[in-house]
Amino acid sequence: MNDGSPEGHTHAELWAETVHGRVAGMRHFGAFSELEIVAPRIAAKAVPGQFVMVTVPGGGFLLRRPLSLFAVRSDRVALLIEARGPGSERLTGLETGDAVDLAGPLGSAFPVSGVASALLVGGGIGCAPLQFLSEELVRAGAQVTAAFGFRDFRAARAAGAFAMERLWVATEDGSVGRRGTVIDILAGLDLPPQTVVYACGPTAMIAAVQRWSLAAGLRGYASLEAHMACGSGSCHGCVVDTARGKLRVCSEGPVFALDEVLP
């Protein structure tokens, strides 16, 4: 396991064994579904910001699907899934007791040590890792404020999966919460100067959060989205440009310091 910093992995730590899990439950929230899987070995090691590579059951799919850890509950891990294609649709159709294979936990973690005030910013399915992060921050004594942005009412129903006391929502069509983007929410927040920003979502949203954080004098971290084939850093299919050069989202990331991301 890494030490909690975005640079905390060595290459040897990127290889995770495949574990055989069982579906413990499924809840649906509009365009999103929360899949809970009994996977004790992954649950015991996981930290916020990491992800797993999930095999789509039933055959016909060559590549595993990378999914952020939405929550960890005792010996179970929960994943928030948006049905975007045949593979993710099959995952959202699983039933209690079904077998599912997953490898992990993989990737770098969100640093949480010493944080007194946190702002969590998510867009669409990018909100997924922020529930696990929120729970760890609250456990560590931090005050957590969250701002999520969605396209429309159906997508915004995903907010019902999150258990956060201070959660603000914006939709582009104005059907839920504030009309506009998540940045419109940030402009109206009154936050302590030591607040740490944690963001996950589309590239355009990350760039906007980066600009807003710089203007507000706040530091933070971003979890980047990318298409992944292996999840271990071997295929170099998820390379992004950063202030530290070209890095792999699956291995050097997905969590990077906000000021080193180059949108």
CATH 3.40.50.80 domain locations along the chain: 117-260
Please list, residue by residue across 110-138, b when 16 or more beta carbons sit within 10 angstroms of its beta carbon and e when fewer do: bbbeebebbbbbbbbbbbbbbbbbbbbbe
**59: confidence class by pLDDT, cuts 50, 70, 90:** confident
Which residue has tokens 């996977």? 39
Question: Which is it for strands 76-82 and 65-73: parallel, antiparallel or unpaired?
Answer: antiparallel
User: Tell me: domain 11-106, CATH 2.40.30.10, correct?
Assistant: yes
> DSSP label at 36?
E
**91: confidence class by pLDDT, cuts 50, 70, 90:** very high
**What's the rounded Cα separation, in Å, for the pair 240 and 4?**
21
Q: Is the pLDDT of residue 125 over 50?
A: yes
Q: Give CA torsion, residues 214, 218, 223, 226, to 10 deg.
A: 0
- List, in order, residues 6 or more apart from 215 with CB less than 8 Å away: none
**64: confidence class by pLDDT, cuts 50, 70, 90:** confident
The pLDDT value recorded for residue 8 is 40
Q: Which of 72-76, 82-86, 148-152, 205-209 has the lowest mean pLDDT?
A: 82-86
User: Tell me: domain 117-260, CATH 3.40.30.10, correct?
Assistant: no
**232: confidence class by pLDDT, cuts 50, 70, 90:** low
CATH 2.40.30.10 domain locations along the chain: 11-106
Burial (CB count <10 Å: 0-12, 13-18, 19+), residue 86: exposed
**What's the rounded Cα separation, in Å, for the pair 95 and 75?**
18
The pLDDT value recorded for residue 60 is 77
No. of helices (H) and no. of strands (E), the chain: 6, 15
